[in-house]
Amino acid sequence: MRQAWRWYGPDDPVTLDHVRQAGATEIVSALHQYAPGDVWPRAAVAERKALIESTPAGRVPLRWTVVESIPVPDDVQRGGPGAARQTEVWIESMRAVAAEGIRTICYNVMPVVDWTRTDLDYPMPTGATALRFDYDRFAAFDLYVLKRKGAGADYDDPTRTRARKVAEGLSQSEAELLTKNISAGLPGATTYSQNLDAFRERIAAYRGIAPDEMRANVAAFLEKVTPVAEELNVRLTLHPDDPPRPIFGLPRIASTAADYRALFDAVPSKANGICFCVGSLGSRPDNDVVAMAKDFSARIYFAHLRATRIDDKGKSISFTESDHLDGDVNMIDVLRVLVTENRKREGAWRIPFRPDHGHRMLDDIEKTRINPGYTGIGRLKGLAELRGALRALQ
């Protein structure tokens, strides 16, 4: 299997030499300078590729092989008036990427918010810190900080009671930090953490859109996109919802095996694939992640190998990012499935994987500038663990 690493570009505190030292040889990157709905010019793709692949003398070569992500704009997801034009823009960006030889594109259809966490530096027993989603803190933000219209109907009485208690204990600075944390996963080049009114408006734009309607909108998008992807020899990989359940009253359509099966049935193109994120899928206790890996193995074109632990032995909605081999899902069983599938494939389509959401530890604890979940040392540790497991299995 192909060892990859997410790199945020020239401003990433983790350098390309750091990636080499971690042992990865492939890069997962995106042009974050372009907002959702903007076309990626081929020249900008070529510039990023040259930066990654221009190898200094004596260094290990790196290749940019996976794009993560080309954002899918709101109009596409909610079936707005700009959907047709935005789909064409997305295809233009895909053509620019393919023209530079990059054949795997990861994307997601999480409306408004991308991955969502309430804590970006949750203390671990080792002294490291981790990303965490605390459902009561999230509910406190939704109900009492964001004050989203109709939010109360999304929570049961015990949750509302606990959320009120959390909210009453928040100082102004703690409420601002919670807002910043939840906003950290907002996609694209812009953030709405300083403007809760704009955040509410974007959420409200999805009011009344049921999951089936959004699924139909995404299927219509894929019906336009996948024939071009096939022509370009590109594979599309849909990342799961994170967390894999409704939040902010927004529709979610990539949380379960049934969700993915519905999209694969609607658009059976071989270009329509899954980014198999073990941590995202594993943070929902009713997902049998190993069974999903087996069922969808032929459509796994990219893998995020990370792990989560759900509170109360799987009885909660809250979860914390764990060490890569120590989550609720048996990572070794997932790797067995991926190794078996990988052996069936020719070199160009062997499965790239990357470590994900590593703990903040060692020297990275002292650094003031990091990308949450994407510190160098935590992911280096995760990749080393995964590499050792794979070596044994292979």
Task: Confirm whether 308 is domain-assigned.
Answer: yes
CB neighbour list of residue 205: distance below 8 Å, 6 or more residues apart? 74, 78
Residue 106 near residue 302 (C-beta atoms within 8 A)? yes
Task: Confirm whether 35 is domain-assigned.
Answer: yes
Task: Confirm whether 321 is domain-assigned.
Answer: yes
Task: Confirm whether 25 is domain-assigned.
Answer: yes
Mean pLDDT for 309-317 is 89
Structure tokens at 207: 């009011």
What letters, b where the CB count within 10 A reaches 16 and e where it falls short, cover 216-246? Answer: ebbbbbbebbbebbeebebbbbbbbbbbbee
User: Which member of 119, 142, 357, 364 is catalytic?
Assistant: 357
State the pLDDT at residue 314.
Answer: 77
Residue-wise pLDDT tens digits, 141-152: 999 999 999 999
**Which of the two residues, 194 and 31, has the higher pLDDT score?**
31
Look up residue 355 and give its amino acid: P
State the pLDDT at residue 186.
Answer: 67
Q: What CA–CA distance (Å, rounded) separates 324 from 1?
A: 17
Residue 66 near residue 26 (C-beta atoms within 8 A)? yes
Hey, is 310 helix, strand or coil? strand
**Active-site annotation holds for 359:** no
Mean pLDDT for 154-176 is 96
How long, in residues, is the chain? 394
Task: Confirm whether 197 is domain-assigned.
Answer: no
Provide the residue range defining the domain that includes 381. Answer: 2-116+203-393
Mean pLDDT for 361-378 is 96
User: Which member of 304, 328, 359, 364 is catalytic?
Assistant: 304
Hey, is 65 helix, strand or coil? strand
State the pLDDT at residue 193.
Answer: 47
State the pLDDT at residue 313.
Answer: 82
**Which of the two residues, 347 and 89, has the higher pLDDT score?**
89
- Whether 188 shows a pLDDT value over 70: the answer reads no
State the pLDDT at residue 187.
Answer: 57
H helix intervals, the chain: 16-22, 42-53, 74-78, 83-99, 135-140, 157-168, 172-183, 196-204, 211-232, 257-266, 278-282, 289-295, 311-314, 331-342, 376-393
C-alpha Rg value of the chain to the nearest Å: 20
Task: Confirm whether 71 is domain-assigned.
Answer: yes
Total number of domains constituting the chain: 1
**Which of the two residues, 40 and 190, has the higher pLDDT score?**
40
State the pLDDT at residue 191.
Answer: 42
State the pLDDT at residue 259.
Answer: 98
User: Which member of 142, 242, 323, 356 is catalytic?
Assistant: 356
- Whether 192 shows a pLDDT value over 50: the answer reads no
Task: Confirm whether 261 is domain-assigned.
Answer: yes
Mean pLDDT for 344-372 is 95
**Active-site annotation holds for 374:** yes
Which backbone phi and psi does 235 adopt, to 5 degrees? -115, 135
Which residue, 191, 102, 200, is CA-closest to 147?
200
- Whether 231 shows a pLDDT value over 70: the answer reads yes
Structure tokens at 350: 């062997």
- Whether 349 shows a pLDDT value over 60: the answer reads yes
**Active-site annotation holds for 134:** no
Q: What CA–CA distance (Å, rounded) separates 113 from 75?
A: 15
- Whether 220 shows a pLDDT value over 90: the answer reads yes
How many CB atoms lie under 10 A from the CB of residue 157?
7
What percentage of residues in the chain have a pLDDT greater than 70? 98
Question: 348: pLDDT confidence band, cut at 50, 70 and 90?
Answer: confident
**Active-site annotation holds for 275:** no
Hey, is 295 helix, strand or coil? helix
> Could you tell me the CATH number of the domain that includes residue 350?
3.20.20.150
User: Which member of 135, 260, 301, 374 is catalytic?
Assistant: 374
Mean pLDDT of the chain: 95
Q: What CA–CA distance (Å, rounded) separates 258 from 253?
A: 9
Residue 51 near residue 43 (C-beta atoms within 8 A)? no
* DSSP-assigned states of every residue in 220-274: HHHHHHHHHHHHHT-EEEEPPPSSSS--TT----SSSHHHHHHHHHH---TTEEE
**Which of the two residues, 154 and 347, has the higher pLDDT score?**
154
**Active-site annotation holds for 324:** no
User: Which member of 241, 242, 277, 324 is catalytic?
Assistant: 277
**Active-site annotation holds for 304:** yes
State the pLDDT at residue 194.
Answer: 55
User: Which member of 136, 239, 301, 323 is catalytic?
Assistant: 239
State the pLDDT at residue 347.
Answer: 85
Question: 184: pLDDT confidence band, cut at 50, 70 and 90?
Answer: confident
For the ranges 19-28, 176-185, 191-200, 323-332, the lowest mean pLDDT is seen at 191-200
State the pLDDT at residue 315.
Answer: 83
Which backbone phi and psi does 373 adopt, to 5 degrees? 85, -10
- Whether 60 shows a pLDDT value over 90: the answer reads yes
Task: Confirm whether 87 is domain-assigned.
Answer: yes
